Every structure is written in C-alpha cells, then in structure tokens.
Structure 1
Amino acid sequence: MSLPVAERWFETKRLDATTTLLLEPHVHILEQANMFLIEGRDRDVILDSGMGVAPLRPVLDALRADPAKPLAHVASHAHIDHIGGVHEFGERLIHPAEADDMAEPKGIRSLRSADFAPETRQMFLDAGYPPLWELLIDAVPWEGYDPDAYLLQGAPATGLLEEGDAVDLGDRVFEVLHLPGHSPGGIGLWEAETGVLFSGDAIYDGPLIPVEPAVYARTLRRLRDLPVSIVHGGHDPSFGRDRLRAIVDACLPKLEAAPG
C-alpha cells in the first residue's frame, strides 16, 4: 500500500499559556490520542505520547519556553496510542498496575489492523467507531517510511504514580486520581485550585470503551461529582462540567446493565 507523505506529522494547538495539545491527524480516529504538554515553573510534563510513528521529543522541545527544563512523561495508561513515544524520555511515570505493560507492551504493537482480534474489532464497532483501515495511518511521516517496520517500543517506569500522589511543576500541583475501568491503571491529573482535569481515557467526548463495566461505573460516578471547570480527555475535544455530567448520565445506565 502506497501512502502519501504528510506535510507534518503532529498537529499542535495552544490551549492556554502553559498547555499545548498535540495530535497525530493521520492516525485512525480510534487510536488518535490527545497528548498534552503542560509547562511549569520548575519542570514540564507531557501527558501521553501518541503512537510513536514519528519522534515526539524534538517537537516538544521546539514548543517549550525552556527546552533545558526537566521534562517528565506521564502515561495515563499503557495502551498503544498513549505510550508510543515513552522511550524518548528519561523520566517515565505510570500507575503500578500498568508499569509492566509499559516496560514490555503486550497486545497490539503494529500498525496492521489485522492484528486486532475479531472480538476487539467488534467491540470498537459496537462502541460507535468507524471500521478500522488496513493500516492505522493514512500517510507516512517521511519518504521511505516503512509502516511494517513499526513496532511499539515500551520503556520501564522510572517512578510510579498512585491515588493521591502529586505531580508538582513548581507553580502548579496536580493530584493523581486512579480512574480504572477502561484500563486497570488509568489515571487522571486533577488541579483542584483551577478545576482542570486531565482525564486520560477515563472520560472523553466520544465513544467510551468500558473494559470492566462495574469498575468503570464507579469511576464515572466519582468524576461526575468533581467540580471541574474543564476536562481535557484522552481523545476528542475538551469540555466543561455540564458536558461531563451529560456524558456520565448517558453512559451509566449501559454500564449498570452490562453483565459482570
């Protein structure tokens, strides 16, 4: 399959003075995860790193006000679309429940959709996602790029983040929330002072994927009660508190009716 060369691999959008959204627009919407660069006084954080199709670190350093400042990779969870670039960073943080999966990724590691099990493909269709392409990308980052040479490369955690821990940037402090249900070690970053929540795949404004329905329902009830001002999810556009409650209220009856 011959694919065009993308004009640029990463799309960036400044959300506020210290937060930049990065996307891979040529990745299938199912695996097109949000990456958030959060710049602080003393250190910066990149929350998730996409698929790892093209190098991310040089793009981040070009965006940062001070590329010499420490930069930590925080993984909201260890799925392929969130840890693709984790090996590019010296400081790598994740919940202990998924540290092994980040160190040695399991499951889908290639760009071939045929590697997805039939029941997994059906789960995505049932959730509302469009059918997968033969390849998970519709362009390549440079001439001569071989999609079949891609292999998700993990990296061991250098630190662990659990419920109640703090991610301290110097002038901003985020509390770690353990938000399982989509994955066992899913986490969010919560800044109570501003009401800003980076929620990973626990909640976003698109088709949600509950792997453990009963556990996921508890997570969504918890999120519904948070006094958020804005939610930056792992996929799709950011949203406010009213939309958060609407998403939860629409999803909970399905989860509560699900077996198990």
Structure 2
Amino acid sequence: MWLLRGGLTGLMNVYLIEDDGQVVVFDAGEKGMAKKIAAAAARLGGISKVVLGHGDTDHRGSAPALSKVAPVLCHPDAVEQAQGSGGRDYWRMRELPAFVRLVHRFQHRFVWDGGPVTISGTVSAGERIAGFEVIELAGHAPGQIGLWRAEDGVALVSDTVYLVTMLGRPAPAQVPEEAYNLDTAQARESIRRLAALRPRIVGVGHLGPMTGPDVVADLEAAAR
C-alpha cells in the first residue's frame, strides 16, 4: 500500500493498494491530482478500480478523470453525492466564519471538484477489496466507508477523523467540524466503532497517518 499526498495545499491523501498486479485507488483527492494519481498507478500496473470513501468534492475530485480508465465505486448511500452536488447540499456553511466560507466556496469550485462522476457499482460493509474489509463509518457524510485489514491493524478511514482545523492547520485527532457533518452524533459513534477495532495505523483523508501506541486512546478522545 502507498500513500500519495498532494493537492494545492498538500493536505489531500489518496491511497494506492496492491491488487493482483494493479492498484485500487481509495479516495480520489482534488481534481488537480488526477495526473499524479494516474502516473503513480501506472508505475504499479495501472488502476483496477477507484473506491470513494465518500462523495465530497475533495474526495471525488479526480474521479471523473480516472473513470476514463477504471470503474468508480462507492457505498450506495454515497452515490447521490458522488453523482450530484459533492456534499455541498448538507454542509452548513452559514455556521462557519465568513472568511472560511469564502475560502471554501473558492476551493469547492476551482480547486477540489472535478464534477459529478458516474458510479459504476457499489460496495457495502463486509465486502472485500484488495485484502481489506469494507466498514461503514457514516456521520460525516452519507455512505462514508473505510477499509480495514485486521491482520496488521491498518484502517483507511477517509474523513472519519480530522487531523486538521477548518483552515488546514495540523490538529489533534477530532471529529470533523459540525458544520461539515451530516450527523455529528453518528460521526462520533463511527469513531468509537473504529477505536473498538484497535487499529495500529489509521490513514485519514488529510495529513496523518495516525501511528504509535496512542492511536486507540486518541480515537477514543476524538469521539467524546
């Protein structure tokens, strides 16, 4: 497995997972990362499929371009966002400071979003993808999923946990900002369920990963 980090601010994480001579792309970052993702995947045998952790604009961004070479999958509950607004209809922008609202409007339109993507199929809890089990981690976004590999304790969790502030500065593990969440109580419960798996490494959507002896304790604290 490889972590590819990029985007305009260098905060976006995309994961490449070995899959029978090719790679699965988990999350698609922002639209400007498409060539970088495709080039990295080509060196590893090409893309077998793209799996979106959820359908927000900064996670589907490169998916329309990548869909020209591989199918794009997501959870059934994420299809509407991935093929539609990219999460902008449930973000409560008015709850954010005015400057942050302005920045996010610019990011959504000009930096993050490559537009709606055609979803070729869906994945749900318990299904296997490239040696990982699909786990459901809803709350931040409709149909948010993660990938879990029990044998070595690796979890890829998209935006279940934030390690950044709303302005992109590094921060302790926390539940995503309430204004970004569909259901913050459910988001906290998803973090608790993630902690109960006792992961050793947690790959998040922005910065990270979480590693070391305090991973579980940090997740438990984030869920409070």
TM bracket (short chain): 0.7 to 0.9
Q: TM-score, with normalisation over the residues of structure 2?
A: 0.77
Equivalent position to 2:145, from 187, 191, 197: 187
Tell me the distance in 1 between the aligned counterparts of 2:220 and 2:102: 27
Unaligned runs of 5+ in 1: 1-17, 110-115, 138-146, 254-260
Of the two, which has the highest radius of gyration? 1
What residue is the counterpart of 2:77 in the other structure? 97
Quote the residue 1:156 is aligned against: 118
Q: 1:184 to 1:106 in 2, by over 3 A?
A: closer
Q: Identity rate of aligned residues, in percent?
A: 25
> Does the 8 A contact of 1:196 with 1:230 survive in 2?
yes
For residues 160 and 75 of structure 1, the distance between their equivalents in structure 2, rounded to whole angstroms, comes to 10
Change (3 A) 1:248 1:214: same
What corresponds to 2:164 in structure 1? 206
Q: d(CA) in 2 for partners of 1:102 and 1:62?
A: 23
Aligned positions of 1:1-260 closer than 5 A? 18-24=1-7, 26-27=8-9, 32-52=11-31, 54=32, 56=34, 58-64=35-41, 66=43, 68-88=45-65, 89=67, 90-106=70-86, 108=88, 118-122=93-97, 132=103, 135-136=106-107, 152-168=114-130, 173-207=131-165, 208-209=175-176, 210=178, 211=181, 212-240=183-211, 242-253=213-224
* CA-CA distance at 1:55 after TM superposition: 5.5
Sort the Cα spacing of 1:106 and 1:63 in 2 relative to 1 into closer, same or farther, 3 A.
closer
Rounded Cα–Cα distance in structure 1 between residues aligned with 2:221 and 2:151? 28
Q: Is the 8 A contact 2:53 2:145 kept in 1?
A: yes
TM value normalised by structure 1: 0.68
Is the contact between residue 54 and residue 75 of structure 2 (CA under 8 Å) also seen in structure 1?
yes
2: CA distance between counterparts of 1:150 and 1:222?
29
Which moved further from structure 2: 213-222 or 149-158? 149-158
Question: In 2 relative to 1, CA 246–103 (structure 1 residues): closer, same or farther, beyond 3 Å?
Answer: same
Give the Cα separation in 2 of the matches to 1:245 and 1:41. 31
Q: CA deviation at 1:131?
A: 8.2
Q: How many residues align?
A: 207
Q: CA deviation at 1:178?
A: 0.3
